[in-house]
Amino acid sequence: MTRIFGLAGSLRRASFNAGLLRAAAELAPAGVEVEVHSIADVPIYDGDLEAETGLPEAVVRLQEGLAAADALLLVTPEYNNGIPGAFKNTIDWMSRPPAGRTLFRGKPVAIIGASPGNFGTTLAQTHWLPVIRTLGMEPWFEGRLMVSRAGELFDGNGTLTDEATRARLTEFLAGFARFLGRPRD
């Protein structure tokens, strides 16, 4: 079984991106499990807190989940043309020792996202690239999924109801699974 650690970057209860991640878990191809994780319990990074008490339990749980996974799926909103602060903060915490950057090095990663705007999450997905490079992840660039006008595609609970978008997500996940099945150096 291939395990994909899925992380949505929104705190909103009816988040389009959390809904997109839940849909990914439902639509994963045979032999692939997309695990749904949340950033909700991760505090703002504080080096003094880290020095005094170590890593917060929420961060340790996320690190353990990522360590056990074969790949990472970032499901990103776009705030002010970039990465949401809470989402970046979570990755910053997760990259702290003792496991830290070694969790990310060589880890295959894909990025998707949903936005109520016309351009999906194009700029946020691009904004993630320096972070991915710095952490040494292996990005999958063959597929792209940017869900535009999300307010028309999700219900009031953040559930993806649009069949065309569900089909695009299914195709994206199949492509990512093929990428994960390729031999690596």
Cβ(9)–Cβ(83) below 8 Å: yes
**What DSSP string describes 105-148?**
TT-EEEEEEE-SSTTTTHHHHHHTHHHHHHHT-EE--S--EEE-
**Minimal CA–CA distance to 141: which of 182, 175, 118, 113?**
175
Q: Where are the domains of the chain?
A: 2-181
Confidence of residue 99 (pLDDT cuts 50, 70, 90): confident
- Which one is predicted more confidently, 144 or 77? 77
Cβ within 8 Å of residue 166, ≥6 positions away: 23, 27, 160
Burial of 181 (0-12, 13-18, 19+ CB in 10 A): exposed
Whole-model pTM: value is 0.96
Q: What is the mean pLDDT of the chain?
A: 96
Judged against a pLDDT cut of 70, whether residue 185 lies above it is answered with no
Cβ(163)–Cβ(24) below 8 Å: no
Dist. CA 108–CA 95, nearest whole Å: 16
Question: pLDDT tens digit string along 146-176?
Answer: 999 999 999 999 999 999 999 999 999 999 9
Dist. CA 129–CA 110, nearest whole Å: 11
Q: What CATH number does the domain located at 2-181 have?
A: 3.40.50.360
**Minimal CA–CA distance to 178: which of 15, 25, 31?**
31
